[in-house]
Amino acid sequence: MRFHRIGRDVSVLNDQLPIPGIGFLAINAFVLHAAEPVVIDTGLSLPDRDFVESLGSVMDPKDVRWIWLTHPDRDHTGGIFALLDAAPRARIVTTFIGAGIMSTERPLPLDRVYLLNPGQSLDVGDRKLTAFRPPLFDSPATVGFYDDRSGVCFSSDCFGAPMPTSELAGAPDVQEAPAEAVRDGQLLWATLDSPWVHNVDETRYLETVKPLRSMAPTAILSTHLPPAVGQHNEFLDMLAAAPEANPFIGPDQRALEEMLASFEPVTAAS
């Protein structure tokens, strides 16, 4: 895992996964170093990941007061129960739907849940976090937020993009990647992760972009993109183009068999 700092307020805990034939996808979690520290998502649900240990590189896990679950997909929830054990004062910020989805695998302890809907705010001691529904999302439980002190927007999966190399997927700033690669990757991700974008009333969809334009965030942080500072105009223009982007069509069985045939056979060491 790689670690980056965005100003004084935010730490980025960067993981990633390769996507065959497409590139490398960042899997980010974040720490907001507020008076009441907030962890945003808890990484991959893979057996070789230890989110709490990784978190210890940027703060003492026992000091976490809030765990903001942007939505309950498995690339956001990997360390959530271990972190609840390590941070006895922490509460999970999610929605009624988010808590319900989590209960299909392992129920959250309801006395440690804080239900917050888009449009509502959470006071974390030295700032206010205002929840909003990002324009692009793949879960009905998705809720990002805007930090009124740092001006940072935490957008969950919105604005994600696979990167052409592992190094770029782990970069401290998305501007290290070619601008064309970022935009093409974002439009690909938009159609892959939010395929409904091709079927919406575009006028109503564009209304969901206006609140982000009014925020004029200093930085946009996405689970699936390197940190983006000062890029909100370009990113919002990308959102406006998403309904007209080419639909994503994934590999079929024939393509899978061709990929498997191209792999070098693994032989046991003698």
CATH code assigned at 182? 3.60.15.10
Structural domain boundaries enclosing 160? 2-252
pLDDT of 148 reads 95
Strand arrangement of the beta sheet that strand 144-147 belongs to: 121-123, 128-132, 144-147, 152-154, 219-221, 228-229
Does residue 116 lie in a domain region? yes
Does residue 195 lie in a domain region? yes
Does residue 22 lie in a domain region? yes
- Rounded to 10 deg, the angle between the 179-193 and 232-241 helix axes is 50
Is this model's pTM higher than 0.75 or not? Answer: yes
Cα separation, 100 vs 94, in Å, equals 10
Does residue 137 lie in a domain region? yes
Give the model confidence (pLDDT) of 213-255 as tens digits: 999 999 999 999 999 999 999 999 999 999 999 999 998 999 8
Does residue 64 lie in a domain region? yes
Q: Which regions of the chain does DSSP assign to beta strands (E)? A: 2-6, 10-19, 23-32, 38-40, 66-68, 91-94, 113-115, 121-123, 128-132, 144-147, 152-154, 219-221, 228-229
Backbone φ and ψ for 16, nearest 5 degrees, come out as -165, 165
Q: Which regions of 194-243 does DSSP assign to beta strands (E)? A: 219-221, 228-229
Does residue 259 lie in a domain region? no
Cα separation, 95 vs 147, in Å, equals 18
Q: For residue 184, what are its two tokens?
A: 């093409």
Please tell me the total count of domains within the chain: 1
| CB distance 69 to 41 below 8 Å | yes
For residue 221, with 0-12 CB atoms within 10 Å meaning exposed, 13-18 middle and 19 or more buried, which class applies? Answer: buried
Give the model confidence (pLDDT) of 113-126 as tens digits: 999 999 999 999 99
Does residue 196 lie in a domain region? yes
Computed over every residue of the chain, the mean pLDDT equals 95
Give the model confidence (pLDDT) of 134-173 as tens digits: 999 999 999 999 999 999 999 999 999 999 999 999 999 9
Does residue 7 lie in a domain region? yes
